[in-house]
């Protein structure tokens, strides 16, 4: 089943807030509700929220009663702004919305023709995401050796995409090729996407894994108990700096210090050649309740009046990366030269 899909004139998504305790599909008929679902992380992962936003624009077309193409385009433009504002760091969100709007502006027929074209393009984008993921997975799986233990951060599987996955898709493909692999799953605090989502996916695939807290990674890397590090990205700058889930930078530092290869796996839609370096990537800071709401043995961890900081992402400098895996091949340093060769 796809993470994000269109059915009976509704956008349907797996509710990732409640996994692994419950598996539920939620339905949406309003672009504003889709924007809130993206902000609230019903759906998450750069490719998945891009597809959700694309279908959100399709919903916006059917929400409005506009009968002329000009007024419908105005309504779609307003919806595009709402959707783009839902999460700032992942470039796939704006990329997907802009792609749909380019198609919308090219339509010369009636308002209904415009509505149909937007939905067709959104579905095409979603279908392409699955195909792109599988191409990435083939390139990335070649980097994994039989017997490898891999540290994986956050969730980059089917749940983070329309289907299959980026970094976890690579691991899944290596497993299906018959390679004996083991995954150390970073919990990925504070929202615990590793412990909740990646572990759940690995169980579905039958891949051996163990959950570790984020601050254990250095131990396993120094002890020689992990041979590779894989994670995804929400935006890659032109020089190869990678913005990914908070904690990726520290993981890459520890791996680099112990000569363990680090790979970021991304579709080329995540590469933002308009940004020269990672310091220009906007970093979303989320509600401090995500940090303070964590409990231990059923009791709050933090004092009642505590405050917290909650940046959702950090930037891993390109010097810490061994390669960036894309659907068009593995990119190696110098990234500022070679990334341009894979973005068509």
Catalytic residues: 234
Give the number of other Cβ atoms within 10 Å of residue 47's Cβ: 35
Phi-psi region of 297 (alpha: psi -120 to 50; beta: other; left: phi over 0): left
User: What is the CB-side half-sphere exposure of residue 55 using CA atoms within 13 A?
Assistant: 29
d(CA 239, CA 225): 31
All residues at 6 or more sequence positions from 134 whose CB lies less than 8 Å from its CB, including other chains:
164, 169, 173
d(CA 36, CA 65): 22
Return the residue matching tokens 């807030």: 17
**Inter-residue contact 201 to 157 (CB < 8 Å):** yes
User: What is the CB-side half-sphere exposure of residue 239 using CA atoms within 13 A?
Assistant: 14
């Amino acid at each position: 089943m796809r993470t994000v899909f269109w059915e009976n004139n509704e956008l349907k998504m797996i509710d990732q807030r409640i996994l692994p305790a419950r598996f539920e599909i939620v339905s949406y008929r309003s672009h504003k509700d889709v924007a809130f679902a993206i902000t609230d992380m019903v759906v998450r992962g750069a490719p998945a929220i891009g597809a959700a936003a694309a279908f959100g624009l399709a919903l916006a077309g059917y929400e409005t009663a506009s009968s002329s193409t000009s007024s419908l385009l105005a309504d779609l433009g307003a919806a595009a702004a709402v959707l783009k504002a839902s999460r700032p760091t992942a470039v796939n969100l704006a990329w997907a919305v802009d792609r749909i709007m380019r198609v919308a502006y090219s339509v010369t027929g009636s308002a209904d023709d415009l509505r149909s074209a937007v939905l067709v393009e959104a579905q095409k984008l979603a279908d392409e995401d699955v195909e792109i993921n599988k191409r990435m997975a083939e390139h990335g799986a070649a980097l994994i050796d039989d017997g490898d233990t891999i540290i994986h951060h956050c969730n980059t599987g089917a749940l983070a995409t329309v289907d299959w996955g980026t970094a976890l898709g690579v691991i899944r493909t290596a497993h299906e090729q018959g390679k004996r692999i083991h995954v150390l799953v970073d919990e990925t605090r504070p929202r615990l996407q590793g412990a909740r989502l990646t572990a759940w996916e690995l169980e579905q695939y039958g891949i051996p894994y163990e959950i570790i807290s984020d601050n254990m990674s250095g131990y396993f890397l120094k002890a020689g108990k992990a041979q590779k590090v894989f994670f995804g990205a929400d935006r890659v700058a032109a020089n190869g700096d990678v913005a990914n889930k908070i904690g990726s930078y520290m993981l890459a530092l520890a791996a680099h210090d112990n000569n363990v290869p680090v790979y970021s796996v991304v579709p080329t839609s995540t590469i933002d050649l308009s940004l020269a370096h990672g310091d220009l990537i906007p970093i979303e800071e989320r509600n401090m309740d995500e940090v303070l709401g964590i409990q231990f043995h059923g009791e709050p961890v933090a004092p009642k009046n505590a405050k917290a900081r909650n940046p959702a992402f950090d930037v891993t400098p390109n010097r810490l990366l061994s390669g960036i895996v894309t659907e068009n091949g593995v990119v190696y340093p110098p990234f500022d030269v070679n990334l341009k060769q894979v973005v068509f």
